[in-house]
Chains A and B, each alone.
Chain A
Amino acid sequence: MSAARITVGTADLDHPLDLTSPRLSVEKPAVRYDTQGDRTDSDRLAAAMAAFSQDFGRDAATWLESCIHCGNCAEACHFYLTTRDPKYTPIWKLEPFKRAYKREAGPFAWLYKAMGAKSKVSVAELEEWQALIYDACTLCGRCTMVCPMGIDIASLVGLARHGMSQAGLVPHELWAVSERAAREGSPLGATPKVLKERLAWLADENEVDMHVDLPQAEVLVTFSSIEIMKYPQSLVATARVMNHAGYTWTISSAGYEATNFGMLAGNAEWQKRMTMKMIDAAIACQAKIVVLPECGHAYSAMRWQGANMLGRPLPFKVLHVSEFLAENIASGRIAVTTVGRSVAFHDPCQVSRRGGATQAPRDVLKALGVELRETRDSGDLNFCCGGGGGVIANHRADEIRYKAFVIKMAQMDATGADEMVTSCSNCRQSFDDGQSHFRWDRKMGSLLELVADHLAGPEGIGATARQVATAP
């Protein structure tokens, strides 16, 4: 194991850290394009319909046929609740998808076509629809919790995005970051070179061991680009926790980016490419565990969809970092000291409600001895931060996103907790942006960083060992 160092100054000049702006994203381009590629309308429509057809599987068809038009889903959606605009009713966001199903693949498709009872979906409708399924849906799935028919609307929106992506009808900024992620390996420019420089700088600055590209390790650690570029202390916290727990662990410069903007944009090919990088990296270092960062959609993409991308069960265990912390605290491998403050926890929708790991962060907070103050709607029924599903990357959605965030602010304030923490850097970014927009006097923190700051022993704050170890 050799050590590589780089000075703080050089890394900072080449790729300056942006620790002050409320969020990271592509700035509004001079010219807005909400279509990609130079294609005819009929080509776009054909591509969308072909992709839709592939997604009309058994579950999707069941849900698409089952809606009773009760409108209850509106009452669960933060975008509807804060605007009272009926077009934000979750199931309405799927109307063209539903119509395409009924006309092209439903049980009476032949009858509808013969009678002309359902008109064809047009490109103009899909363009109009773009704002509903990308700007006004964070895929949070709260609507699923209220639907009397149990329709999983968020899953359907995720499927519908496939057709939109195939048709080149993705909001520009979301498409741009997704394309960049597919091309460079990171949506925010956190290329392997940038990552290594960041790690070297962070190891030096924070006096912590970092392990990069080890040929073999028990644990492969992954990050979100948002952490790498905006919340680098999360990288430090991860290293401290791993060192404290005593695992052989590594970061792989071939597969470190866990966010999956391909999935959010609806591009299945990009999604697979991004996922496979991590899977290949884990297989290469014979990892037994892949730890996913504080990122909600990263959890969905790898924990619940990774094996389907690979085409066989994953040869390693996948844990969100909050699950990793909970398991290792329970086993005694991680020891923590008491925080002694009250905390309000914001559940990342994809980890809790849609991921099944709702209890893990609560177990961690309990071990930290905090007084957990739950929001009025918490756990599986929490409100989304408003920025999930790629919405925060899309400037066009800012206005309704801020409106939705008002619910979150009010609920957090109502807890009266000393501090707020979450286990998703994208949520954290949404909170930072909301804080800046509303001049809110609260700051969202990280569960992982809270643990790292309260490790019992030398890896806590003030640790002395420091080096970046890389493969020979």
Chain B
Amino acid sequence: MDSLTLLAFARGPMLVIAIAVFVLGILWRLFHLLWRPSKPDLSEPRSTAVVRGALGAIVTRMWHHKTFRERTLAGTLNAYAYHIGLAIVFFGFVPHIAFIERLTGLSWPAVPGWLFATAVAAVFVGLVYALMVRLTSPVLRLLSDFDDYASWVITILPMITGMAVLSLALDSPYPAQPLYPAPLAIHLLSVELLLIWLPFGKLSHAFLVFISRGATGAAFARKGASL
């Protein structure tokens, strides 16, 4: 298989498969959770504002309580650094926007080159720092399993393969024909691996976070308890 055929495969059938697994996997996870039995709570609620409680928990849990700041600040800031960095890299880079536009017809302005470069640095530094903490903290070493390390590798892989594709100035227009088809194909395949893995492993926290926080927020609101 030559590099152009590989690229066509990555841009064509493999992309369709990856998106299908991604969407169906998430739907299956959601269906499986929401379909599970849930006993009605017959206790007299202190508050009926459970929806507000659920939404409130989703928002307020984005930052830790002051009480825990000393112990969790570094991890929280690092997590924000690489999560926001990933979002900027994925949604703000010229070639990525062009790729999404080709698929969906939607487009938006790219971020400035300096911001993109900062985001890339934040993702690399953040992910490496997260791995170092995971490998050196006795608590995290105990908790960690295959999923944690696999998810780390699958997340950083598109970043590494993406670096190999960078061949133009960051603010340049997206070329009609890729300069290096093979690295681009590998980059695309690594992104597709991420899409396929996300619904199955811990990366599913991308959507479970809303349900989990919401469930606890609603339960606590019902009791009139703060979260």
Contacts and interface: CB of A to CB of B under 8 A. Distances in A.
Interface of A: 56-59, 61-63, 65-72, 74-76, 80, 84, 86-87, 89, 91-92, 106-108, 144-152, 155, 303-308, 310-314, 317-318, 353-358, 377, 380-381
Interface in B195-227: 200, 202, 204-205, 208-209, 211-217, 219-220, 223-227
Contacts, number: 161
Given A59-B216, A86-B143, A146-B72, 7 more contacts: A57-B38, A68-B202, A74-B139, A75-B68, A92-B142, A147-B61, A310-B42
A65 B33 contact: yes
User: What 6 A-B pairs are tightest by C-beta distance, nearest first?
Assistant: A356-B224, A150-B213, A307-B42, A356-B225, A66-B212, A356-B223
B36 interface: yes
Contacts of B79: 70, 148
B102 interface: no
A353 B139 contact: no
A310 B79 CA distance: 45
A66 B209 contact: yes
A356 B222 CA distance: 9
Contacts of A353: 225-226
A149 B213 contact: yes
A466 B191 CA distance: 81
Interface residues of B, number: 55
A150 B227 contact: yes
B139 A71 contact: yes
Interface of B: 28-29, 32-34, 36-39, 41-44, 46, 57, 61, 64-65, 67-68, 71-72, 75-76, 79, 137-145, 148, 200, 202, 204-205, 208-209, 211-217, 219-220, 223-227
Contacts of A151: 212, 216
23 contacts: A58-B34, A62-B215, A65-B208, A66-B209, A69-B148, A71-B143, A72-B68, A74-B139, A75-B72, A86-B143, A92-B142, A145-B227, A148-B76, A149-B208, A149-B212, A150-B209, A150-B213, A152-B216, A304-B43, A307-B41, A353-B225, A353-B226, A356-B224
Contact of A72 (B72, B200, B217): B72
Nearest to B225: A356
Nearest to A310: B42
A58 B202 contact: no
B61 A144 contact: no
B223 A355 contact: yes
B44 A307 contact: yes
Contact of B211 (A62, A75, A303): A62
B86 to A, nearest CB: 15
Contacts of B215: 58-59, 62-63, 150, 152
Contacts of B46: 356
Contacts of B64: 72, 146, 148
